[in-house]
């Protein structure tokens, strides 16, 4: 056990250690114990273990900064501050003694040697270590922040201080590992021992860039919402900056095709595009991938109004459709008022109203402007009116006029009928409880809206509506007759007739099916090639018929 006593011999501190004691000593800092197989140094005040040196010796002598050990293996000089070996000789010795900085050693053959000289002639040595140990980027760049550790040693004493400077900004006392900043870095350092001996100044330099470049995107074109354009073309420009090592290249991928950016990207076709882009610097830092979605849409959207009308109230719904960019907003004006953004179904009171509306898609294209007159019946009317449309749905009357028989079961007087096809402006078609009406000729499938009301002019009129589907209203056709009795069997007959419908309007021959009969036998299909028909090689009377396809 070791113990520290004060000036009154009171116990201050103790410590225990194992191992046989061969010799003890004390210097300016430490209490030294030579054990069987080691040398131990303890702080004189706290008795904390400062160092242990594994060594076997028989005798020990102390000077101001050195510990000398001797024995069968020779003589060794130990740094009293650090426990490291300064020098040794291999002549076996029996004893040694110190006097100031002089050491006298008695070898086993009776020889006496004296060791003397300056007690400190070596400057400290500072070793630098860096983590990462080598640049991991391109062009000798560190792309993670390096950490510097400085470790100083002194053979005969100890390093009192270590100083370093970054980019000649003044020297700082080293106390712990430190990080290097970004850029081109010059680092210098040195250490000084407790006697003022200073090592030569040491230098090194490093290139550090841990930040990736940053790419910006700009566009030229008519843009409505972000990424939605309606211009003839869109020009995309990429620009990147790097504050460290400098920009190496910009890369992009447009819908699966990767390339290095060299000039603005021009898109001119309508459609949806996905552009990803990034940049890399000279140090090898790669930017996180950016994504930009682009839609080029030059077609106008459409808007549609639907009505759910009951006595006293009408629920109006407006929807928009756009196949590419999608609908952004719908606007409407009620009875000539200000334009308002449509956010949901509108509830209209009884009476006569005008509703104007249009749609705008995300690319900024605007639909045509729609105008609708809407009539809401009074809420206190108790009469129930049914519209009976005599016919099947869809209504189809090939080769005949399309006649609708309309009737209204109501006690109202002065009933008027009103027809509206596919939201076009409607027309009055008759009056009375019963009405027959010929549908206008049409070549397309469409919706027919029939309305019965007490008075189409009175804003407070009672209105009831029904819808049916119209399909192509086909009419019988006529053509300039080619019928003759003297066709020659097997001959080729020029065949290019002019065709008219029942109203006297010319009909496209491509819409007509031709057939023929011989001696009133079963009809057979005609094959017209380049305006000619080959007459069958058969005697008899030929009749040719033109008709619409089934």
The pLDDT, as a whole number, for residue 287 is 97
Instruction: Share the mean pLDDT of the chain.
Output: 80
In the chain, the percentage of residues whose pLDDT exceeds 70 is: 74
125-208 shares its CATH topology with 387-470: yes
Instruction: Please determine, for residue 384, whether its predicted confidence score (pLDDT) is greater than 70.
Output: no
Residue 98 and residue 436: Cα distance in Å, rounded? 142
Instruction: Please determine, for residue 282, whether its predicted confidence score (pLDDT) is greater than 90.
Output: yes
pLDDT band at 43 (very low <50, low <70, confident <90, very high): confident
CATH class of 302-376: mainly beta
Higher pLDDT pick, 284 / 16: 284
Instruction: Give CB contacts under 8 A, 24+ apart, made by 509-512.
Output: 511/548, 511/549, 512/477, 512/546, 512/547, 512/548
pLDDT band at 21 (very low <50, low <70, confident <90, very high): confident
pLDDT band at 23 (very low <50, low <70, confident <90, very high): confident
Please tell me which of 13-27, 304-318, 475-489 the model is most confident about, judged by mean pLDDT. Answer: 304-318
The pLDDT, as a whole number, for residue 335 is 87
Instruction: Please determine, for residue 245, whether its predicted confidence score (pLDDT) is greater than 90.
Output: yes
pLDDT band at 535 (very low <50, low <70, confident <90, very high): confident
The pLDDT, as a whole number, for residue 365 is 95
Annotated domain spans of the chain: 2-115, 125-208, 214-296, 302-376, 387-470, 477-547
Instruction: Please determine, for residue 459, whether its predicted confidence score (pLDDT) is greater than 50.
Output: no
Domain 2-115 homologous superfamily, CATH: TolB, C-terminal domain (2.120.10.30)
The pLDDT, as a whole number, for residue 550 is 53
The pLDDT, as a whole number, for residue 381 is 41
pLDDT band at 139 (very low <50, low <70, confident <90, very high): very high
What is the average per-residue pLDDT within 440-446?
Answer: 53
Give the domain 214-296 fold.
Immunoglobulin-like (2.60.40)
Residue 185 and residue 204: Cα distance in Å, rounded? 8
The pLDDT, as a whole number, for residue 440 is 63
The pLDDT, as a whole number, for residue 508 is 65
Q: What is the DSSP letter of 73?
A: T
Q: Residues 346, 352, 356, 359: what is their CA dihedral angle, to the nearest 10 degrees?
A: 30
Domain 387-470 matching CATH 3.50.50: the answer reads no
Q: Six-digit token pair at 268?
A: 């001119």
Give the domain 125-208 fold.
Immunoglobulin-like (2.60.40)
What is the average per-residue pLDDT within 7-27?
Answer: 75
Instruction: Please determine, for residue 503, whether its predicted confidence score (pLDDT) is greater than 50.
Output: no
Please tell me which of 3-12, 191-200, 539-548 the model is most confident about, judged by mean pLDDT. Answer: 191-200
Higher pLDDT pick, 355 / 454: 355
Residue 288 and residue 391: Cα distance in Å, rounded? 67
pLDDT band at 27 (very low <50, low <70, confident <90, very high): confident
Instruction: Please determine, for residue 402, whether its predicted confidence score (pLDDT) is greater than 80.
Output: no
Instruction: Please determine, for residue 184, whether its predicted confidence score (pLDDT) is greater than 60.
Output: yes
Instruction: Please determine, for residue 392, whether its predicted confidence score (pLDDT) is greater than 60.
Output: no
pLDDT band at 19 (very low <50, low <70, confident <90, very high): low
Q: Give exposure, 238-276, as e/b (b: 16+ Cβ within 10 Å).
A: bebebebbebbebbbebeeeeeebeeebebeebeebebe
Q: Six-digit token pair at 396?
A: 């189809």
Instruction: Please determine, for residue 107, whether its predicted confidence score (pLDDT) is greater than 80.
Output: yes
Residue pair 389/468 in contact by the 8 Å Cβ criterion? yes
The pLDDT, as a whole number, for residue 5 is 66
pLDDT band at 400 (very low <50, low <70, confident <90, very high): very low
Instruction: Please determine, for residue 454, whether its predicted confidence score (pLDDT) is greater than 60.
Output: no
Based on DSSP, count helices (H) and strands (E) in the chain, helices before strands: 0, 51
In the chain, the percentage of residues whose pLDDT exceeds 90 is: 39
Higher pLDDT pick, 69 / 36: 69
Instruction: Please determine, for residue 46, whether its predicted confidence score (pLDDT) is greater than 90.
Output: no
pLDDT band at 410 (very low <50, low <70, confident <90, very high): low
Higher pLDDT pick, 84 / 11: 84
Report pLDDT digits (tens) over 324-342. 999 999 999 988 889 999 9
Report pLDDT digits (tens) over 115-135. 876 667 789 999 999 999 999
Neighbours of 542 (CB within 10 A): 18
Instruction: Please determine, for residue 225, whether its predicted confidence score (pLDDT) is greater than 80.
Output: yes
The pTM assigned to this predicted structure is: 0.56
The pLDDT, as a whole number, for residue 143 is 96
Phi, psi of 347 (to 5 degrees): -105, 115
Instruction: Please determine, for residue 397, whether its predicted confidence score (pLDDT) is greater than 80.
Output: no
Residue pair 260/279 in contact by the 8 Å Cβ criterion? no
Q: How far from 371 is each of 196, 263, 320, 334, 423, CA to CA, in Å?
A: 99, 48, 15, 10, 9
The pLDDT, as a whole number, for residue 435 is 74
Q: Comparing 167-176, 180-189, 307-316, 465-474, which segment has the lowest mean pLDDT?
A: 465-474
């Amino acid at each position: 056990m070791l113990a520290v006593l004060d000036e009154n011999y009171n116990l201050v501190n103790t410590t225990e250690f194992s191992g046989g004691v061969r010799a003890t000593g004390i210097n300016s800092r430490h209490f030294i114990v030579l054990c069987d197989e080691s040398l131990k140094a303890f702080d004189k005040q706290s008795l904390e273990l400062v160092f242990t040196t594994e060594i076997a010796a028989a005798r020990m002598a102390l000077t101001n900064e050195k510990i000398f050990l001797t024995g069968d293996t020779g003589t060794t000089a130990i740094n009293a501050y650090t426990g490291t070996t300064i020098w040794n000789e291999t002549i076996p010795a029996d004893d040694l003694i110190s006097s100031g900085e002089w050491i006298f050693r008695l070898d086993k053959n009776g020889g006496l040697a004296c060791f003397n000289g300056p007690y400190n002639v070596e400057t400290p040595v500072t070793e630098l270590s860096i983590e990462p140990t080598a640049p991991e980027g391109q062009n000798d760049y560190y792309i993670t922040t390096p950490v510097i550790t400085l470790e100083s040693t002194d053979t005969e004493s100890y390093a009192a201080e270590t100083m370093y400077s970054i980019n000649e900004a003044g020297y700082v006392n080293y106390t712990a590992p430190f990080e290097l900043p970004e850029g081109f870095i010059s680092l210098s350092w040195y250490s000084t021992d407790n006697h003022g001996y200073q090592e030569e100044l040491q230098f090194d330099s490093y290139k550090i860039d841990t930040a990736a470049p940053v790419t910006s995107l700009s566009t030229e074109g008519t843009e409505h919402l972000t990424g939605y354009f309606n211009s003839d073309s869109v020009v995309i420009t990429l620009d990147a900056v790097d504050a460290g090592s400098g920009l190496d290249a910009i890369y992009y991928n447009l819908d699966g095709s990767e390339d290095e950016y060299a000039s603005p990207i021009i898109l001119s076709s309508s459609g949806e595009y996905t552009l990803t882009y990034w940049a890399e610097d000279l140090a090898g830092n790669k930017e996180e991938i950016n994504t930009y979605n682009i839609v080029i849409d030059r077609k106008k959207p459409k808007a549609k109004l639907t009505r759910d009308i009951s006595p006293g109230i009408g629920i109006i719904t407006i929807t928009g459709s756009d196949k590419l960019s999608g609908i952004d907003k719908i606007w409407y004006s009620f009875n000539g008022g200000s334009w308002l953004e449509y956010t949901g179904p509108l509830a209209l009171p009884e009476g006569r109203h005008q509703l104007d509306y249009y749609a705008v898609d995300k690319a900024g294209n605007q639909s045509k402007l729609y105008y609708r007159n809407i009539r809401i019946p009074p809420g206190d009317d108790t009469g129930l009116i049914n519209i009976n449309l005599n016919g099947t749905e869809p209504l189809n009357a090939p080769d005949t006029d399309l006649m609708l028989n309309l009737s209204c079961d109501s006690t109202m007087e002065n009933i008027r009928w009103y027809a509206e096809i596919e939201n076009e402006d409607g027309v009055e078609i008759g009056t009375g409880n019963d009405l027959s009406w010929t549908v206008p000729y049409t070549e397309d499938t469409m919706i027919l809206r029939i309305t019965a009301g007490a008075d189409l002019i009175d804003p407070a009129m009672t209105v009831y509506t029904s819808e049916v589907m119209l399909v192509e209203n086909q009419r019988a056709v006529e053509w300039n007759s080619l019928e003759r009795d003297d066709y020659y069997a097997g001959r080729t007959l020029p065949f290019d007739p002019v065709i008219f419908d029942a109203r006297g309007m010319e009909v496209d021959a491509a819409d007509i099916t031709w057939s023929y009969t011989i001696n009133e036998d079963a009809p057979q299909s005609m094959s017209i090639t380049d305006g000619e028909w080959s007459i069958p090689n058969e005697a008899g009377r030929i009749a040719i018929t033109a008709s619409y396809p089934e």
